[in-house]
Structures are given as structure tokens and as C-alpha cells.
Amino acid sequence: MSAGLRHEVSPGIRYEPIAPTRTQRLASGGEIDAHRHDDHQIIYASQGIVAVTTDAGSWVAPATRALWIPAGTVHRHQAHGELDLHFVGLPATENPLGLDKPAVLAVGPLLRELIVAYTRDPEDDSPPHLRLRAVMLDQLKASPERPLHLPTPTDPLLRELHGILCADPAEGRSLDRLGRQLGASARTLSRRLHDDLGLSYPQWRTQLRLHHALILLADDTPVTAVAHRCGWSSASTFIDVFRRTFGHTPGSRPA
């Protein structure tokens, strides 16, 4: 099969052997349909919020994060806010991060500029551009994981709970009260959350709320409204959680 040839590997999933290095702009709400590559891929949004969804759940990344998508992973993208996307393709034989699952990585000012500069002219194979690539990969190796993964439960009971929380991230009922609605005890739900997702209920709910908060912020929803709609008791509490997670306040653009 020649490079760049595309075909359907299963209904609705596009196959692209090579993960190209490129830039792309997406309007808010825009999508890139489900597809997979034989290559690894790094995805970075220098503007807007990108959500990447796989069978295992969703990863969401603002401008302080990049997403690592291993070779062969079926994934799709959605834009929240006007999106400037930067894609870096890496051969399957080259895995500088040593990761075999999708991950969210911290992006500081230097790495941000390296990714933007490298993807600006992907056809450039000059020695300076290759040196820029090497520095970029060195910086990626040093980037700590900053997970903001919203895992999709496999347990049917947890899927019901997931649906309740996604419909209303501000849902404030205790796990015991939610369990009564679902016909299960809080202990049963807690045990299944730990076994299925490796998370406690508060951890899972916080990740879900942050996921939704990022999407609302990308649509220019005021911070106070985001805090209220995502279940925080006050804007200051939300700002504190957001700062500790992302390294900047929700109302500011990262440096």
C-alpha cells in the first residue's frame, strides 16, 4: 500500500498509514472523524481546547497540554473554541516517551514554541529543522504526564452513573443517594469504580467536572457561570482547583 492511501478498516473508521506532521485550523464544534495511524502522533492545540476520544474515554487538552496518541489507536478529535491544531507524526519505531497508551503531557513555553515552529514547515528537512526536531523530542521526554482523562466505564451500572453526571456535572447528591436511584449501594459503586477505573468517586467526579469546565471556558462562558454549572460551591473554589490542575487560572491564557 502506498503512503497516504486511505481505506476503511471497519465501518466509520478511516485508516491513514502515516500520521502527518502539519497544522490545521478547526472552527468551534468542528470534528475529525474516527481514524487510526500506523505511526505515533503528538497533538497540540496552541489555541482553543482539543478533546480526543478513544474507546477507553476522552482526553482533553488546553494550551498547557499536548496529547500523545500511540500507533494504532483509533481516535477522533473535537474542537471547543476556535482551534489551532499542531500534529507531529513519529514512526512506530520511534517512541521517545515509552508510552503505549494515550496520555496528556505538560507543555511549557519552550516546548510550545518548538512544536509550533516545527509544524510550521513540515517539508523542511534542513539540518536546522532536524536539530529543532531533536530539541523538541528532548523536551517531550522531560515533560511530565498531567492526566486529565475522563475514562469511559465498562461496567453497566457505572455507565448509568456516568450518564447522570455528564447530563448535569453540577449533580451534588451523595453516592449513597445516587446509588438508591440506580439500585446499588454506595459501597458497591465505590468498589466498581475502583475496579473499573482505578478512581474514587470524588476523583472521577472532579475529572468529569474539569473536563466540562474546559469546554465551557473554550466557548467563552464566564468563570463564575462555569463554576456554578460544573458543581463548585464558589468561583474561588473552582479557580483554586483549576490552578492546581493546569498551572494557571481559568480566566487567564497560559504564558
161-169: long-range pairs with CB below 8 Å, 24+? 161/189, 162/208, 165/205, 165/208, 166/208, 166/212, 169/208, 169/209, 169/212, 169/213, 169/229, 169/230, 169/231
Fold of 7-149: Jelly Rolls (2.60.120)
d(CA 167, CA 216): 14
Listed in order, the ranges of the chain carrying CATH 1.10.10.60 are 153-246
pTM of the entire structure?
Answer: 0.73
Cα separation, 82 vs 57, in Å, equals 23
Residue located via cell numbers 502539519: 22
Q: Which residue type, as a one-letter code, is found at position 42?
A: I
pLDDT tens per residue, range 122-172: 889 899 999 999 999 999 988 877 766 788 888 999 999 999 999 999 999
Enumerate the CATH 2.60.120.810 domain ranges in the chain, comma separated.
Answer: 7-149
Which CATH superfamily hosts domain 153-246?
Homeodomain-like (1.10.10.60)
pLDDT (mean) for 83-95: 91
Distance, CA of 143 to CA of 98 (rounded, Å):
12
Residue 7 has pLDDT above 90, yes or no: no
